């Protein structure tokens, strides 16, 4: 049976070596402390002489009152206490060490919680579950990478769709101008911009600008292509103003 993340953390904490004498004294104090005695907890914390002592204190608290969710599913680390006073003390001491736990009540019990990957990883590292902390960090990096890739793909897809819509609009305008015999009256630079885009449909405006001879800017390419759209729009206006046949003309005798 595969080891759960919670069991992995507990195994690593159980195997954590305590070398300094002051840290071993802290461990003994934690083992002798009455369950959820806020005054004793504060007294032990005040006696901590180094970061290792604090690590031992919070490690003991985690082993008796803590849990952590598999980071592949969610980032969630909890402490659950019966006593609100004890929860107050733990939350205060955690904050003193730089860990800002949220607080809620669940089925009459007080819950202190972390819900972000950085906080969960840092706390696990602090109490000695270094391997589990690396797991959290690696999963966060993978998640961030996938999110960035997805954002980039969505961005690129949106740009391609926008470019295709723009090309279709320009292509329709060119067809309308050609049908009216007006396309060849466009400036050579305008026609060459469209023909270059038509031949290189996957290229961006910036890339098309570099293909021009001489090269021009992205805005320069856009300006030339917009002239085609304006010419087609003017053609539509002229068509609207022009009567379709003689029957549409006013009766001269009337």
The packing angle between helices 38-47 and 51-65, to 10°, is 150
Per-residue pLDDT of the chain (254 residues; tens, 9 = 90+): 688 999 999 999 988 889 899 999 999 999 999 889 999 999 999 999 999 999 999 999 999 999 999 998 999 999 999 999 999 999 999 999 999 999 999 989 999 999 999 999 999 999 999 999 999 989 888 887 888 888 888 887 888 788 888 889 999 999 989 998 888 999 999 999 998 988 887 788 889 999 988 899 989 999 999 999 999 898 888 877 766 554 444 443 43
Contact 77, 114 (CB under 8 A): yes
pLDDT of residue 244: 55
pLDDT of residue 249: 45
pLDDT of residue 154: 85
- Beta-bridge partner residues of 111: 80, 104
SS3 36: coil
Cα(78)–Cα(141) distance, rounded to whole angstroms?
A: 23
* CA max distance for the chain: 120
Cα(118)–Cα(133) distance, rounded to whole angstroms?
A: 9
Fold of 5-138: Endonuclease I-creI (3.10.28)
pLDDT of residue 159: 81
Burial code of 40-56, b = ≥16 C-beta within 10 A, e = fewer?
bbeebbeebeeebbbbb
Asked whether the CA dihedral 157, 163, 166, 172 is positive or negative, the reply is negative
pLDDT of residue 126: 94
Q: In the chain, which residues fall in CATH 3.10.28.10?
A: 5-138
Contact 80, 109 (CB under 8 A): yes
Q: Which tokens sit at 7?
A: 């069991």
* Size of the chain, expressed as the number of residues it contains: 254
Instruction: Summarize the chain as % helix, strand, coil (round to 5).
Output: 65, 5, 25
SS3 234: helix
Phi first, then psi: what are they for 77, rounded to 5°? -130, 125
pLDDT of residue 246: 45
């Amino acid at each position: 049976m595969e080891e759960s993340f919670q069991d992995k953390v507990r195994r690593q904490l159980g195997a954590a070596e305590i070398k300094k004498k002051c840290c071993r004294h802290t461990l003994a104090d934690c083992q002798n402390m009455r369950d959820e005695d806020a005054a004793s907890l504060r007294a032990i914390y005040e006696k901590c002489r180094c970061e290792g002592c604090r690590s031992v204190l919070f490690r003991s608290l985690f082993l008796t009152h803590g849990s952590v969710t598999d980071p592949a599913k969610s980032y969630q680390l909890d402490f659950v206490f019966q006593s609100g006073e004890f929860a107050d003390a733990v939350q205060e001491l955690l904050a003193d060490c730089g860990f800002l736990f949220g607080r809620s009540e669940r089925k009459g019990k007080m819950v202190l919680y972390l819900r972000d990957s950085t906080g969960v990883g840092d706390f696990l590292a602090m109490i000695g579950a270094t391997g589990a902390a690396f797991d959290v960090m690696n999963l966060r990096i993978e998640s961030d990478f996938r999110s960035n890739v997805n954002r980039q793909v969505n961005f690129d897809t949106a740009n391609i769709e926008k470019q295709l819509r723009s090309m279709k609009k320009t292509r329709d305008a060119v067809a309308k101008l050609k049908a009216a015999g007006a396309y060849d009256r466009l400036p050579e630079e305008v026609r060459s911009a469209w023909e270059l885009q038509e031949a290189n449909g996957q290229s961006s405006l910036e890339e098309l600008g570099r293909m021009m001879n001489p090269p021009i800017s992205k805005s320069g390419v856009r300006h030339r292509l917009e002239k085609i759209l304006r010419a087609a729009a003017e053609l539509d206006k002229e068509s609207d103003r022009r009567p379709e046949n003689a029957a549409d003309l006013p009766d001269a005798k009337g």
